[in-house]
Amino acid sequence: MTEMSRIAVVGASLAGLRAVEFIRRAKFEGELVLIGDEEHLPYDRPPLSKEVLRGEWASERLSLRRKSYDDLNVDLVLGRRAVSLDTETREVGLEGGDAVPFDGLLIATGGQVRELPNQPRIAGIHTLRTLDDSLAIRAALAAKPRVAVIGAGFIGAEVAASARQLGLEVTMIEALETPLEQTLGPRIGAVLREVHERRGVRVHCGRRVRGFGGSDRVESVLLDDGTKVDCDLVVVGIGVSPSVSWLEGSGVDLEDGVRCDATLAASVPGIVAAGDVASWYNPLFEERMRVEHWTNAVEQARHVVSSLLATPGEAKPFESVPMFWSDQFDIKIQGVGRPKPTDELVLAGGTPESEKFIALYGRAGRLVGAVAFNRPPKLIQLRMLIGKRGGLDEALKIAES
């Protein structure tokens, strides 16, 4: 284990908190600091677009730690944004002028929501990333507004589903030809569109937002084909970008996040990254990737601690099969691997019409991804098969068994 007396973790996120816990489990006895830009203790984000938005869960239920933080012996610095990093003096600069010194640094700052280029600052237009965002949208939904959701990725589709489950009039707008086209391909994207339309969501695909109607409060969304979508509430869910602006000029290499090697180590010794912000080379798929999913954050947090505390040359590559899920209406969508629209697609274990099936993604005969609609038991087996570099034929047997 390397000699460190003080470790700073920037990002009071799922990855950040789990890393703190794993650091203590690794018997690190030095000082430990967890820095977060929100005033809340670390909380779970997936329910923000579902149970919290629908008013089914109180915010207290989101806590990522059921017991106190006393056993972690960690200095919690919350409500303070990291604004700079000095790799020479080994200090994290905080908003307000303070600095936190460190020997080892773990970056887990996650992502920040993207906004439309023409997005005005008027009432009724929201983004969803934080607990406060979710509570603000939930309060607005209580007035029974007409809802427009811009973006049909996982967050946008979940928000649209939640609003529709509340009995509201919902329109979902997507610039691509189908929802999740870049992730799951057009065939599965079309299935998701049909899921929403069957449940009363109006879906406009292949359409871009040209502007908004309303002066003080949003009244409509104007599309590039001349369509006007009347609405009282807009949620913009067009994805996130990695939160790395505070690292610019620090000497830490940036490339779609913090550029890491296969062990999750950044370009500066003693600095590592985990979670949504980490771009690393995954040997299993022989490509560089950045994964914005819950399971990846936990698994990387565990691995990155071993990399941070390892002696030079001892750190191991993080070779993983990404796993993700999304609950929309009564549909549980679960996926594993690294599916791409260009992969060979095979449907098995049911039919899209029944909303219960498995989509297998193959590349040169190898299984590289799988997505299940309401077929969760099979995903664990398929994830293991991807990890073993198994073939598409074997995956088909698992899916049909």
The DSSP annotation for 267-294 comes to SSTTEEE-GGGEEEEETTTTEEE----H
164 Cβ contact partners less than 8 Å away, ≥ 6 residues apart: 170, 196, 199, 200, 201, 329
**Rounded to the nearest 5°, which phi and psi values hold at 301?**
-60, -40
Local confidence band at 2 (pLDDT 50, 70, 90 cut-offs): low
Look at residue 44 and tell me if it is in a domain: yes
Q: How many whole angstroms separate alpha carbon 78 and alpha carbon 61?
A: 19
Among 165, 133, 183, 141, residue whose Cα is nearest residue 328: 165
The per-residue pLDDT for range 282-300, each reduced to its tens digit, is 999 999 999 999 999 999 9
Q: Rounded to the nearest 10 degrees, what angle do helices 14-25 and 294-309 cross at?
A: 40
Output the pTM of the full model.
0.95
Look at residue 317 and tell me if it is in a domain: no
Look at residue 30 and tell me if it is in a domain: yes
Q: How many whole angstroms separate alpha carbon 320 and alpha carbon 337?
A: 9
CATH of the domain at 367: 3.30.390.30
Look at residue 323 and tell me if it is in a domain: no
**Rounded to the nearest 5°, which phi and psi values hold at 240?**
-130, 160
Residues in the chain: 401
Q: How many whole angstroms separate alpha carbon 339 and alpha carbon 216?
A: 43
Q: How many whole angstroms separate alpha carbon 75 and alpha carbon 232?
A: 43
Looking at the fold, whether 178 and 258 belong to one and the same domain comes out as: no
Looking at the fold, whether 134 and 30 belong to one and the same domain comes out as: no
Q: What is the DSSP letter of 311?
A: P
Query: With pLDDT > 70 as the criterion, what percentage of the chain qualifies?
Result: 100
Local confidence band at 312 (pLDDT 50, 70, 90 cut-offs): confident
214's tokens: 């309303």
Looking at the fold, whether 245 and 102 belong to one and the same domain comes out as: yes
89's tokens: 């003096």
Among 143, 23, 140, residue whose Cα is nearest residue 73: 23
Residue 255 lies in domain: 6-112+241-309
The per-residue pLDDT for range 170-188, each reduced to its tens digit, is 999 999 999 999 999 999 9
Looking at the fold, whether 96 and 154 belong to one and the same domain comes out as: no
Q: How many whole angstroms separate alpha carbon 101 and alpha carbon 93?
A: 9
**Rounded to the nearest 5°, which phi and psi values hold at 56?**
-85, -25
Looking at the fold, whether 200 and 128 belong to one and the same domain comes out as: yes
The per-residue pLDDT for range 355-389, each reduced to its tens digit, is 999 999 999 999 999 999 998 889 999 999 999 99
